[in-house]
Structure 1
Amino acid sequence: MSDSHSSSSDSASLAATDQNVGRSRRIGNGDQTLTTDIPRHWHDIFWLGVFLFHLTGLALALAVLGLNRFKKSDRFNFDRYTTNTTGTVGNSHGLTEDYWPMYGLGGAVGTVLGWAWLLLLGFQANHMMKFSVHILTTYLAVVSVLCFWSDHFFWGVTFAIGAALQFLYVISVIDRLPFTMLVLRKAVKMVWSLPEVLRISYAFMLVMLLWMALWSFGAAGVVASNINISGRWWLLVVLSLSLFWTGAVLCNTVHVIVSGMVFLALIHGGQEAASLPPNSLMKSLRYSVTKSFGSICYGSLFTAAIRTLRWEIRGLRSKIGKNECLLCCVDFLFNLVETLVRFFNKYAYVQIAVHGKSFNHSARDAWELFQSTGVEAIVAYDCSGAVLLMVTLLGGLITGTCSGVWTRIKWDDDRVTMVGSTAMLMGMALVGLAMVAVESAVTSIYICYAEDPLLIHRWDAEFFNQLSEALHQRLQHRSSRAREVLTQNRLNAGIQGLDCKEVRRIEIKSVGICIYSGTAEWQKSVEWIPKWPDLIDYLG
């Protein structure tokens, strides 16, 4: 048994080393290829048009909704359409300017939190991340109690469920946090070595604030309107979805810009910004807001939702155990989400920045790159995106709490939850714009490690060794899990005649699972088995 384990460990280590060498040889002249100004073309123009049309139409609607009750009640005589059949109105009090300052407070708090968080990460990244992970559950629970205390039962239940899900997720990934914190520290180090990246994040936060000034003007008009409660909530949901898409577009635009800068810095050995080619930032900015903007708008519609769903399903699946009925249902959802991830993932933005491809092409190429090199093993193990999302959620909750408390001091009805929930979304968008710079550095590091590991080695040799060791451990873990599956089930449909006791090495590759058995340099029996999504998931 010890000989088998030793040979498995040695072969996994050898395979990881061979992968690094092979990728370095494959890239070869990576410095020359990646720094050349490749011709770029417009992509996903349809979605660019949809986003601009949506933005223009919404701006007009927001202006009308806000002006309707700005300094004058029912300026455009909309009340004749909002009167109920009983002759009463849903809300007969308030003007736009009564609620607009509360949204202004939310914007100010969100901006301060985003700037402060980005600055503090440069000094105490590890402590700040740990604080966010552990405090979010407590904060959600406290907000839930406050909602129950103020007789907002629905919101109390919502935040209680959120606190429970957050707690279960942290418990399910607690063993992954040390590696995640390592990657985040290195990403913060990279971001702080490029002052232009920080300035880009701050600039886009100001752009977002300008749009939020108009958005909150319209939202305040909705809260103050005479529409019944359900009508006002539906309008706020539509406005919130629009703000979510707009915020995601701005975040992913920053993602593309920062990815281009980080990739360029790694090509130049991870040196200071002064050593980079001139006008690098302006070129990256120009590409992201012109020829690549359609791809950004397209990806922003789906990527965040799919990624969040994938995290939750992965965390749930790891805690199910052997409940076959529940496992079958979760497997179905997982396979569906995994299929979507191949075409909608955040690593596409690095490919867009570096190679100027369309979004779906970029997402597919990034995923195939990870699968073919085995780097997908540590990408799946990393939780940096989830940790940064927790920071964003915490910032949004603090923002919503500040605006909600001020509203509660003046009024005591549904307007508190209306203002508080929408202000929370504003805070999330602003803090997310600050955090996306770090997330972009993480994605760029993984793409660079998959394409040419020597880029990471030249930048930080110690970090390269830590990544390689983590990759070796994950591949070894997957091999041991595959051996367990083979031993228990023997997979009769695919490997009839193969003695599971003779299995010496198992490799997970993009085309399937390669099983080597026998003692003569693994030449006795080689079986190729088609890729089973459930087995790949079971391997972790």
Structure 2
Amino acid sequence: MATPTSPAKKAAGNGDQPPSYGSFDDAAQYAAEASTARSPLLPHAPQYGHDGLYPDAPQPRFVSPKGPQDLWAAIAFIAHLGGVIALGGVSLKGLFDRGAGVGTLNQLGDEDDANVTTMALITAGIAAGLALLVNVAYLFVMRAIPKALIKGTFWLSAIYMAFMGIVVLVSTGSFWGALPFLLMIMIYWFMYTMFRPRMPFASVMLSTISDVTIQYPATLWVTVFGSLVQLGYAVWWLFTMAVCVLYFGKVDMDPNTPHGGRGDAPVMPSPEENTALQLVTAYLVFSAYWTVQVCSNVVHVTVAGVFATYYFQSSPDQPAPRSPTWRSLKRAVTTSFGSICLGSLLIAVIQTIRALANSARYDENGNRANDFIYVCLDCLLKWVEDLATYFNVYAFTQVAIYGKPFARAARDTWTLIKDRGVEAVINDSLIGNVLVFGGLLIAAVTFTLGWIVAWAAPGLPEPWIVATVAGLIGIAVFSMVSSVISSGAATTFVCLAEDPQALAATKPELWTKVAETYPHAAFTSMYV
């Protein structure tokens, strides 16, 4: 077991070395001592400008450098968006000059029946209200009975697999078809027995994260705003893709096939015969992946900054600074934006290669040998993508807490995962299982409530329409809530792994619960 290193020994060390970890033999005793005295390591906790817990503390080891980080990546991202705008503008102008494929843009449908629009708005409003009510209720449930939810979702998973296995067995009569579901039940039982000792700690984490989310509802609004930005980008991207396909596809006029009363039906060669169209399509697909990743990670870094502020700066004697969400968002879109763009670029490249490989696979026309190769390549790329995505969650958490450049954040994340990686996976799996079944539960509840409201209120659309819209909006809203919970879980774990003394000094009661449920949490700070 490693023991805490004194500040004097730390000062003699090389500050450029990767962070080190250790553990305490008696976490409970350490928690009791830390809760009554200021830890000598706490001055080295992260600070946000002049808002640190101890303004007179010496310079921390992980100080945010002045100026934007990974600036070249931010410039490249903005330039690539300019390229997409230029492609769309050139294509649209070329189509108007050519007079091809533009007539359909004006055919937006009839607007005679305003009542349909009114009823649609009423349906969406009712569904959104029900979704908001149910999601807020589930947040309070996660806060109140986290342990019961974590255990219950494991059993529900096993029951669901057993139900699906019975359905397959009865409908097909094939034991081999039902065998995978039986194996999944065994896997869930194995995971339950293996994860059971970590459930009390995950319960404390889930309850705390839910409480912070309720305390800082602006984190949810940031997620909503990010989703609206992605929706707006999706609409713009689809329009750009459409005009680029029509323009670079070298549309010819076919007077024999009238369209909308005019002979402007587009006739295009196959994409395989058009290199320009292939390149433009690949560029736009890459742009979609990169932009969506950047938007999602800006939200994650913002939420992570809020949870880090709560961890390091919020205490009974000194509340957290005002508007922590706005300050975190400001850092995410200014000094840390380049780091977000760089980390997102790596995922976008993998996703683009995978998409192009799948496209090439579908063009093989039944060549089984090549098809097998592409399937193996797709599995490999999917595995790399999932691994890199999971890794990036913790790397961006480092970016949010310390303002590090992405390369430094990735290096420190690798060190953290090597030492605490299994614990992080277990914690994420336990909380993630609650979120998955929470989404299914909320979809079912909002669907049922939508049906009841539509049935009880004359004049509304058919109950199944209101219920379906309510269920879909319920899932959409919960996906935003779950993203906040996931970001909070990753951030809290990183903060606890890197500087447990900060929690012991600012929130001794919470630290005592952590030490009791997860004794290995009392390991040496990263700052020693």
TM-score normalised according to structure 2 size: 0.51
Matched, 1:285 2:329: yes
Q: Judging changes above 3 Å, is the alpha-carbon distance between structure 1 residues 174 and 219 closer, same or farther for their aligned structure 2 residues?
A: farther
Structure 1 gaps of 5+ residues are 1-11, 79-92, 99-103, 146-159, 307-332, 399-425, 476-506, 511-540
* RMSD of aligned residue pairs (Cα, Å): 6.2
Q: Distance in 1 between matches of 2:78 and 2:315?
A: 37
SS at match of 2:314: coil
Aligned to 1:200: 222
CA contact (8 A) 1:256 1:349 kept: yes
Aligned to 2:489: 442
SS at match of 1:40: coil
Given candidates 272, 279, 291, the residue that maps to 1:246 is 291
Aligned to 1:89: none
Q: 1:292 is aligned with what amino acid?
A: S
Matched, 1:261 2:275: no
Structure 2 gaps of 5+ residues are 1-22, 52-63, 110-119, 168-177, 247-264, 351-379, 445-472
Q: 1:201 is aligned with what amino acid?
A: T
Q: Deviations over 1:400-425 (max 9, x none)?
A: xxxxxxxxxxxxxxxxxxxxxxxxxx
SS at match of 1:281: helix
CA contact (8 A) 1:259 1:440 kept: yes
Q: Judging changes above 3 Å, is the alpha-carbon distance between structure 1 residues 26 and 459 closer, same or farther for their aligned structure 2 residues?
A: closer
Equivalent residues in 2 for 1:65-76 (5 A)?
75-76=99-100
Aligned to 1:52: 78
Q: Number of residue pairs matched? A: 375
The alpha-carbon deviation at position 295 of structure 1 amounts to: 0.7
Q: Deviations over 1:312-355 (max 9, x none)?
A: xxxxxxxxxxxxxxxxxxxxx9xx979x8699432222321232
Q: 1:247 is aligned with what amino acid?
A: V
CA contact (8 A) 2:132 2:477 kept: no
Given candidates 342, 347, 355, the residue that maps to 1:298 is 342
The alpha-carbon deviation at position 30 of structure 1 amounts to: 4.5
Q: Judging changes above 3 Å, is the alpha-carbon distance between structure 1 residues 240 and 284 closer, same or farther for their aligned structure 2 residues?
A: same
The alpha-carbon deviation at position 48 of structure 1 amounts to: 1.8
Given candidates 4, 9, 28, the residue that maps to 2:42 is 28
Q: Judging changes above 3 Å, is the alpha-carbon distance between structure 1 residues 380 and 348 closer, same or farther for their aligned structure 2 residues?
A: same
CA contact (8 A) 1:244 1:429 kept: no
Q: 1:354 is aligned with what amino acid?
A: I
Q: Judging changes above 3 Å, is the alpha-carbon distance between structure 1 residues 27 and 459 closer, same or farther for their aligned structure 2 residues?
A: closer
Aligned to 1:173: 191
Q: Distance in 2 between matches of 1:388 and 1:215?
A: 34
Q: Distance in 2 between matches of 1:60 and 1:430?
A: 34
Higher relative contact order at CA 8 Å, sep ≥6: structure 1 or structure 2?
A: 2
Equivalent residues in 2 for 1:412-427 (5 A)?
none
Q: Distance in 2 between matches of 1:54 and 1:124?
A: 44
Aligned to 2:320: 276
Q: Judging changes above 3 Å, is the alpha-carbon distance between structure 1 residues 473 and 256 closer, same or farther for their aligned structure 2 residues?
A: closer
Matched, 1:124 2:144: no
CA contact (8 A) 1:346 1:363 kept: no
Aligned to 1:7: none
Q: Deviations over 1:493-535 (max 9, x none)?
A: xxxxxxxxxxxxxx9999xxxxxxxxxxxxxxxxxxxxxxxxx
Q: Distance in 2 between matches of 1:509 and 1:453?
A: 6
Percent same amino acid at aligned positions?
Answer: 23
Q: Distance in 1 between matches of 2:517 and 2:266?
A: 56
Aligned to 1:498: none
CA contact (8 A) 1:351 1:357 kept: yes
Q: Deviations over 1:379-411 (max 9, x none)?
A: 23212575488479979x99xxxxxxxxxxxxx
Q: Distance in 2 between matches of 1:271 and 1:237?
A: 54
Q: Distance in 2 between matches of 1:392 and 1:54?
A: 38
